Structures are given as structure tokens and as C-alpha cells.
Chains A and B, each alone.
Chain A
Amino acid sequence: MGHVIVKDLCKNFIERRRARRVLNSEPDTHLGERLEVLDRINLEFQDGELVCVLGPSGCGKSTLANIMAGFERWSSGAVLIDGKEVAGPSSDNIFVFQHNSLFPWMTVQENVSLGLRHMNDKVKMAELVQEYVDVVNLTGFEHHYPHQLSGGMQRRAELARALVVNPEVLFMDEPFAGLDFLTRLKMREEVINMHQLIGKTIIFITHDIEEALMMADRVVLLTDRPARVKLDTKLESPHPRDFVCDSQLEDLRREVYQELGVHYAL
């Protein structure tokens, strides 16, 4: 299970700094100016789907992911995971962060076993941890501390930490930000392979159009703030994908660029 429904989701921030001094009849606005971030978002994520959410920077992609993962409250609407309203963070849906969020005082092994710390069978726990450390190709680095690893290895360790708890949904908020080009490509491949292997729902936030088109089963494009769903397209092309041979992909790429207001990049 890993079925996520987002229904009429709205999110407003109140910006206190720009508070108006004039008394206003509206009850909310006396605190400050309202900043609409999400505007009636309707989305459904099927179980086992890898969906990339694209959008211009600052449009509210991360806010959407944070809300779905239970880190932030929304203003109106509903978010349901497997039929239950999201009430807060839970280890059923793990978030992989944009910046490095491994605990620097723990080794790779200790970090990966965070989600399993309540397991009574310590032998089985160690086996599971080892299994996922192997899955992300970190064999031999179990006892290294995060600062002793490269950026790509840190992301992979983070991935292992998320996967080992067997979450229903995996949220990834620009998990490859700050990695070099080649490492990014390798990480894409690894996430795709892992997704095919494990078949969990992955909601992948990115601003990289190529990345989204290469990886996703479905691409969701958000508009500039306040974010609305502008495009929601399924991608049928099998992996590995290639823009040159695949006209559907090429057309979609053109469309996405056009929607984002870029005309000369092609």
C-alpha cells in the first residue's frame, strides 16, 4: 500500500514582516499579508508509482512534499495516505531531504539502523541493515562516519536508511541537489533500479526536467506560486530512456519547457 490522495489542498503563509498597519475587516489579514503557496492541488498517487513533481523554483514543490509527509500543516483541503488523513510524520512515509540529513555522530550502519531500533532480534536487524547497505553499494563503508564519505555516498546511505524501514511512500525532495553531473546520472539509475526492485510509491520533487522525464512513471508540473497542477502526464516509455529515439519523450520535454516559459533552451 502506498496510495496518496491530495484533495483541494491549499496552503497559505502569513507574512508577519509585511504586516499592514491599517485595520482590516478580514479576520486573517491583521496578522500580515497572506502568501498563497498552494492553490487547490488535486493529485492522486497510485501504489508503486514513481511520480516526479516539477515546477519553477520557489513554487511550493517542497511545501507540498512536506505537507504530504506530515511536517507541515495545510490551510484547507485534505491529504490521505491509504485512506487515512496525514496527522504528522511517521515512519510509514520516509522523507529523503535535499541536504544531507544523516546524523554525523553515527556511522553509516548506525544511521541505517535508526528505523529498526525497536526490533528485538538484533541479529536479524544487523542482517537487514547489511542487506540495504549492499543494495546502495556501500559495502565496506558500514563503519565510516558521514563526513568520511563523498556526497554521492552520503545520499546513498540516506536512501538505505529510508528503505530499510520498508516505507509505503518515499518522499524525495531534490535528493540529488549538489551532486556532480555524473554522480547524478548514476543516482538516477540507482533510484530507478531500486524502484523496480522494491516497487514502492516514490514522490520525487525536482526542478530538473531531464531528470523527471528520465525517471518518472508520471510527471506532474506545477505552476509558479500559487502552485496549481498544470500538467499531469503518464510516461509509457520503458527504461532506459533516450530522448533521441523516443518522440513521445521529446514532445513532452518540449511541452514542459514551453509551459515553464522557456523557448530557446531547445
Chain B
Amino acid sequence: MDYDRLRRLLLPLLVFLAAGACWEGLARYSGWSASVFPGPRETARGMWELILNGTLLKHSVASLFRVTVGFYLAVIVGIPLGIILGWWKTGQVLFNSMIQFLRPISPLAWIPLAMLWFGIGDKPAIFLIFLSSFFPLLVSTITAVNRINSLYFRVAANFNFTKLEMGTRLIFPAILPGILPALRISLGIAWLVVVAAEMIAVKSGLGYLILDSRNALRMDYVMDAMIAIGVIGICLDRIINQLKRIKSVSWGSI
């Protein structure tokens, strides 16, 4: 078992090391100057500076805050709405086309309107993140509700379930394994969108850091911000993936 865990830790690390080596090689022999294509050493030095003066932490926290709020909003609104629409067939017919119409509109297309409506600051970014996570969550919740084994509803009727119990004791637990991948994907999308959103309306966040560093021609900072985005992305994915370990959810993956 221990060997297995070590393997799972070391093998991916090996790939990262190899990628770093390639990067170093490219930076050294491509002929580009360090200000255009900084190598790992310049980037690491920049990273050290950013960590020391607290810039990286400040911007990461700002981005994480927006993602968390926007994503939670999407979860709080999207999943209950998905349950209702999955249950209420007429509502599904009524709203499905509208959902499918709004869904392909990129959250970034909303930027002008979001800025106009919510001004400068956290709000437009949160709004965009909400939009980006809301539709995947809504659609997959509806699908998950539709895919619940109809026998379970008969069992529930047989045991005199009330409407509320149908929702909380049947539908909600039944869809959890189905919406877990959706949570993962939409959190990923939210993290993608926050960077774009921060390039426009705000003066903080990793997206802003990238934009600001570009204006200052500090490509090493740009790369640092990219690395931070990747690292936080991995962590978020790991965290949400832990939900799979909840025992009453794990039946879905069997």
C-alpha cells in the first residue's frame, strides 16, 4: 500500500521535473532573451519576490474569494433549480429551450453588461463566475434527476413519503454521484473564467496580476501567476474530489 502511494506521488512529480527540464532547455537554447521567454530560474526568482512581498498571496486570495462566492451561488441556485425542473416535467419543457439558448453564450460575452450593471469590483467577476458554473450544474442536475431509477419513486410512494421527503431523502442523495463530476467541471470552468474576468474590471486577483505584469513587461511574473493558477486549480480539484469519499455517495462509482 505504501509503495502504491509513493508511486502515485512520485510518478506525476517526475513528469513535472521533466517538463521543467525541457523548459530550461528551451529557454537556454531558443535564443530568446529572458525578458521574452523567462526560464525556470528567472521565474523562480520572480516567484520568490512575489511571495516575499505578499503580492502573490494577496492576488490568490482575491481570486479564490471570487471563485468561491460565485461557485457557491451557482451551487445554491443551480442544484435546487435543477431538482425542481427535473421533477416538474412541464417546467422542464417550458424552460429547457431557454436554458439551451443561454448556455452556449460564453460568460465572457457578458462582460460589458456585467460591468455596466455591477460597476467595478468583485461583483461583476462574481457574476461571470456564477454564470459559468450555473449552467453546467443546472443541466447535469436535471439530467441526474431524470435518470433516477423510477422504482425508487414507487418505493417512496409505498412508504408514504411526503413531497419534502421525496426531495431530501430520495432525489437529493440519488443525484449526488451524478452531479459530482459536474461540480468538478464547473469549478474548473469557474477558475478559468475568473482570470479572464479579472483582466477587465478589477485591480486584484491573479488575472490582474498577469495583465499588470504584462504592462510592466515582467514575463517572469506572468509565468508565476500562471503557475499559481495551475497549482490552485489542482488543489481545488483535489478538494472537490474528496467528496467522492463520502460513503453515501460512493455507491455511484461502483
Contact = CB atoms under 8 A, between A and B. Distances in A.
Q: How large is the interface on A (under 10, 10 to 19, 20 to 34, 35 or more residues)?
A: 20 to 34
B151 A71 contact: no
B159 A147 contact: no
B251 A146 contact: yes
Interface in B117-171: 149, 151-152, 154-155, 157-160, 170
Interface residues of B, number: 20
A45 B176 CA distance: 42
A71 B157 CA distance: 8
Contact of A105 (B158, B159, B160, B173): B173
A234 B247 CA distance: 48
Nearest to A104: B251
Contacts of A209: none
B155 A101 contact: yes
Q: What DSSP secondary structure best describes chain B's contact surface? A: helix
Nearest to A111: B155
A105 B170 CA distance: 9
B155 A69 contact: no
B80 to A, nearest CB: 18
A91 B173 contact: no
Interface string B211-254: 00000000000000000000000000000000000011111101
A90 B157 CA distance: 7
A78 interface: no
Contacts of B151: 97, 99, 101
A94 interface: yes
A115 interface: yes
B174 interface: yes
B247 A145 contact: yes
Interface in B168-220: 170, 173-174, 176
A106 B155 CA distance: 14
Contact of B154 (A97, A104, A145, A146): A97
Interface of B: 149, 151-152, 154-155, 157-160, 170, 173-174, 176, 247-252, 254
